Amino acid sequence: MILLDRVTKVYNRSNTALDRISLHVEPKEFVIIIGKSGAGKSTLLKLLTREERQTSGKIVIGGIDYDKLKDKDIPLLRRKIGVVFQDFKLLPNRNVFENVAFALEIVGFGNKEIEHTVPRVLDIVGLKGKEKRMPQELSGGERQRVAIARAIVRQPKILIADEPTGNLDPKHAWDIIKILEKINHYGTTVLLTTHNIEIVNKLKRRVVTIDDGRIASDRANADYGQTQGGARG
Is the Cβ of residue 81 or residue 138 nearer to ligand ADP in the bound state? Answer: 81
C-beta of residue 127 within 8 angstroms of C-beta of residue 149: yes
Strand bridging mode 30-34 / 189-193: parallel
Q: According to the binding rule CB under 6 A, does residue 186 interact with ligand ADP?
A: no
Which of 2, 4, 7, 17 contacts ligand ADP by CB under 6 A?
17
- 134: number of CA atoms within 13 Å, CB side? 5
Contact call for residues 83 and 151 (beta carbons, < 8 A): yes
DSSP at 116: H
Least distance (Å) between residue 195 CB and ligand ADP: 10
Q: C-alpha 38: how far from its chain's center? A: 18
Run of H or E residues at 110: none
Contact set for ligand ADP, span 19-78 (CB under 6 A):
35, 37-43
Of 9-17, 67-75, 97-105, 225-233, which segment contacts ligand ADP by CB under 6 A? 9-17
Q: Shortest gap between Cβ of 79 and ligand ADP (angstroms)?
A: 24
Cβ proximity to ligand ADP, 35 vs 229, nearer residue: 35
d(CA 185, CA 170): 22
- Nearest distance from residue 218's CB to ligand ADP, in Å? 16
CB of 94 to ligand ADP, least distance (A): 29
Reference 192, options 106, 98, 82, 93; nearest CA is 82
Closest separation in Å from C-beta 159 to ligand ADP: 18
Instruction: Kindly list the residues in this chain that would bind ligand ADP in the complex (CB under 6 A).
Output: 11-12, 15, 17, 35, 37-43
